[in-house]
Chains A and B, each alone.
Chain A
Amino acid sequence: MPPLAATGSGLLPMLAVVLPVLAMVVALPLGARGAERMTIALLLPGFLLALGTAIAVQSSGAPAIHLLGHWSPPLGLAFRADGLAAAMLLAAAIVIAAVALFARGGFGVRSGAPETRTAFAFWPLLLALWGGINLAVVANDLFTLYVALELLTFAAMPLVCLEGKRETIEAALRYLMFALLGSVLYLLGVALIYGSAGTLDITLLSGRLGLEAPVIVAAALMTAGLLAKTALLPLHLWLPSAHAGAPAAASAVLSALVVKGSFVILVRLWFGVLAATPSLPAMQILAGLGAAAILLGSAAALAQPRLKLLVAYSTVAQIGYLFLMFPLVAGMPDSETAAKAWTGGSVQAISHAFAKAAMFLAVGLMAARVGHDRIADLAGTARHMPVPLLTFGLAGLTLMGVPPSGGFAAKWLLLSAAIEAGQWWWALVVLGGGLLTGGYVYRVLSVSLTSSGALAPPAPQPPGTPDAIALGLAVLSVALGFVPLASFGLVQVGRMGLAP
């Protein structure tokens, strides 16, 4: 492929990366209160930068590109926001904004109040996570992506054990070990790719690599490393305890965004870097693992006694859907079917981000008010906390894939692409996963809707802003299903691996 040329709109995604990182650095001397105010002040500009990127990409039909210091690859570094990146930037800006506003209750600092440890850490970590996910979707250099992965890990790990309980520290250590192993394997692959092609720029690499031994070894190492970070079964072991143990606001961003960063990099690897390399068997393995994750993860969620663990196992399952797109896109990249599968995977990533953030926030509200999250003892919560329960239910619709919802659009696209491609077995997995998801969502709702519980329910509380924020995210995840399918064309812009 020819080298990239800068576009005028390229500075939008660039600022979307730089501003949160700068704010994270400045947050340290400013202290918790300053960091909180700066984060809140950055939410709207951050959203507008993402929206601007999406509009520019959609209207020009081409990626927004920025060349750092005017140096073009292979020597320099480029940011390349294609349609998928723009959509992820938007999703990240919305989820971060919702979580930041939600978290003011728990981590907000009143003027004059002493700086608490959790507030001191939470705001910069959230900013770093935002910058990290933005970098992971727009960076076009394999080593810059490594730095993005580390930024995400270093921000996510302390969030897991922010409350300082022993089991959360153990979960954080397990997570860190998986994540570090994942980064190191990824980096090893990067070394071999550079040795094979002499560049790390994804656009330049695209089409340059053949089926040589170093490339195959590199692809295997990088895929394994990224799967460990994305928590695809069987490398999911760290996820449930880490995501369930974190504070609700942290769980929301961990499940909604952090695992998507490494997923997008995996997409770049197979459909960008390795676009010219026939890889259907590898793609079938990835989708097979995804199918296993959907079925086993949902079944495990069904069996969980605790609500937060149920939601965490649901993440394990929903991540599986993302991988169904791989063999469907790789089969015939230029076909209508591949485009469908690509859109399906992208919409799944985004609608799951909204739904799962909503669900974790709602569950956090419920657990905080009832004082526990044992599902069996949730009877009566519907009457006293109607809004969080409604949020849980709406988000559940998206996860199940019930029409009309974002999850339905995603799963319908994946399902019909599977049938068109003659790989009908993935369609069965989508349907089976939907049924199991329905099962665990129903289990929570049915207990909560029983009028009297064994324990006296807490005093009814009027729903507050946090309830509304969680509900807003859930509504958004459903509303994606009302968006006409044509407007999802955004995620097709700048898709790599297509015939020129």
Chain B
Amino acid sequence: MSATLFGLLGAALVGIGLFGMLVGTQPLMRIVCFNLLGSGVFLVFGAVARRGGGAGFAADPVPQAVILTGLVVAFAATTLAVALVLRLAGNEDEDRH
């Protein structure tokens, strides 16, 4: 039950995040929406993990491990995007002065 509900929540978050990323005008806003989209993807994966529980495990450990790895990689991607946005803003300051 939890799995289905949160899987559907994940589907909704994917749509919401994607929409925000595509129509957003401020880079930082689009990065936040990218993270929403990412959390939706991980939730769908989490639903898959929960459904696959068995053999004494409440949830399938393989997708859980994959989600952990994915979370850290997605965070690294966010930092790169933020660093680019900041650099772009810094460059424009230099251009103005």
Answer whether residue B2 sits at the interface, using C-beta atoms and an 8 A cutoff: no
Identify A147's interface contact among B62, B69, B88, CB under 8 A. Answer: B69
Of residues 79 through 95 on chain B, the ones whose CB sits less than 8 Å from some CB of chain A are 80-81, 84-85, 87-88, 91-92, 95
Asked if B41 contacts A169 (CB within 8 A), the reply is no
Number of interface residues of A (CB under 8 A): 29
Whether B91 pairs with A180 at a CB distance below 8 angstroms is no
Q: B84 touching A172 by the CB < 8 A rule?
A: yes
Q: How far apart are the CA atoms of A192 and B62 in the complex, in Å? A: 14
Contacts A166-B88, A169-B84, A172-B84 given; does A180 touch B77 at CB 8 Å:
yes
Q: Does A184 contact B (CB under 8 A)?
A: yes
**CB proximity of A150 to chain B, nearest CB, Å:** 5
Contact code string A142-181 (vs B, CB < 8 Å = 1, else 0): 0100110010011001000100101001101100110011
Q: Are A170 and B88 in contact (CB under 8 A)?
A: yes
Measured in the bound complex, the distance between the Cα atoms of B48 and A183 in whole Å is: 19
Q: Do A173 and B44 form a contact, CB below 8 Å, given A154-B80, A180-B34, A198-B52?
A: no
Q: A187 to B88, Cβ gap below 8 A? A: no
Given contacts A166-B92, A169-B91, A173-B88, contact A147 B73 (CB under 8 A): yes
Given known A154-B80, A191-B44, contact A184–B38 (CB-CB < 8 A): yes
B44–A146 contact, CB under 8 A? no
Q: A150-B73, A180-B34 in contact; A192/B44 too (CB < 8 A)?
A: yes
In angstroms, Cα B32 to Cα A180, docked, is: 13
Do residues A194 and B48 form an inter-chain contact, with CB atoms below 8 A?
Answer: yes
The 10 closest A-B CB pairs, nearest first, are A195-B48, A191-B45, A188-B41, A173-B84, A166-B91, A191-B44, A169-B88, A143-B66, A150-B73, A180-B77
Q: Known contacts A180-B77, A187-B70, A195-B48; can you find 18 more A-B pairs with CB under 8 A?
A: A147-B73, A150-B73, A161-B87, A166-B95, A169-B88, A170-B88, A173-B27, A177-B30, A181-B18, A183-B77, A184-B37, A184-B41, A188-B41, A191-B41, A191-B45, A194-B62, A195-B52, A198-B52
12 contacts across the A-B interface (CB closer than 8 A): A143-B66, A147-B73, A154-B76, A161-B84, A176-B77, A181-B18, A184-B34, A184-B37, A184-B41, A187-B41, A188-B41, A195-B52
Chain A positions within 8 Å of B, measured between CB atoms, are 75, 143, 146-147, 150, 153-154, 157, 161, 164, 166, 169-170, 172-173, 176-177, 180-181, 183-184, 187-188, 190-192, 194-195, 198
